[in-house]
Chain A
Amino acid sequence: MIDLRPIAASWPIEVVMGEKIIQVGCVTDLPAGPEGDLAAENAIEKANRLGWFTLRGTWIFPFHYWWDSIEEMTEYVKEKWADFAVIKPKVIKTARYVIRETKSTHRVRMRLKMLLSCWQKNR
C-alpha cells in the first residue's frame, strides 16, 4: 500500500527569478485543515494498529506548484483550497514588492511538503 499525499505545513511561497529564489512568506493553514488529511491519518493509524500492514519506508520531499504570477497563485488557492489554506495579504504585498524591485522575469511557486509511505500487507 502506497500512501502519497501532501502534508499541510505552512508551505513556503517563493518568487523565482532565474537562479535567484526569494521566499516571500508562507501559506497559512486554516485551523480546520484538509478533511482528507485527517481521515487519511486516522485510516493509516488504524490499519497499522490492527496489524494489517507493516511500514517499509517513509520519504518526505518537496513538490512545487508553479504559476506565472502571484495573482494566479492567489486565485488558485482561493478557488481550490479555500477550505484549509489562505494566502495572507501581507505575503501578496511582499511578493509584489520583490517583483517590482527586482524588475526581472519571474515566476512564483509554492513548495508543498509531500509524504510517501510504503506499507507491506501482513499475511
Chain B
Amino acid sequence: MPLQKDPEGVETRHLLQAVDFSRCSVLEIGCGDGRLTWRYAPFTQRIMAIDTDASALQQALKTCHPKIKKKTTFVCADSINLPFRYGIFDIAILSWSF
C-alpha cells in the first residue's frame, strides 16, 4: 500500500469545525498536489490554489475531481508576488508551509 496521509481524517474534521467555508472564495497558498484542497473543496464556492512547484500542480490537475475542477483554478505563483487584486478572497489558507 502506498504512503497514506491522515486516513483517519483528523485534519479534515478540525479544519471543517474551525472554518465555515460555505459561499466563500478561498486562496490556498502552498496547495501542492491538492491533497488538502480536496478536503474542503466540496464545501466552498471558489478556490484559487497556488504553489511554486509546477509538477505538483500538474499532479493536482490530473487527480482533480470534475466537480471540484469547475470551481478551482491552479496557478504557479509564490506568496510574495500574488497575481491577484486586493480583497477578492474571503479566506486565505497558508497550507503546510513546511
Contacts and interface: CB of A to CB of B under 8 A. Distances in A.
Interface of A: 1-6, 34, 36-37, 39-40, 57, 59, 61-68, 72, 76, 114, 116, 118
A74 to B, nearest CB: 13
Contacts, number: 71
B3 A72 contact: yes
Interface in B79-95: 91-95
A68 B4 CA distance: 9
A62 B10 contact: yes
A72 B4 CA distance: 12
Give the interface size bracket for B toward A.
20 to 34
Which 8 residue pairs across A and B have the least CB separation, nearest first?
A: A66-B4, A40-B97, A36-B97, A2-B93, A3-B94, A1-B92, A36-B98, A63-B6
B66 to A, nearest CB: 26
Contacts of A57: 18
Contacts of A6: 96, 98
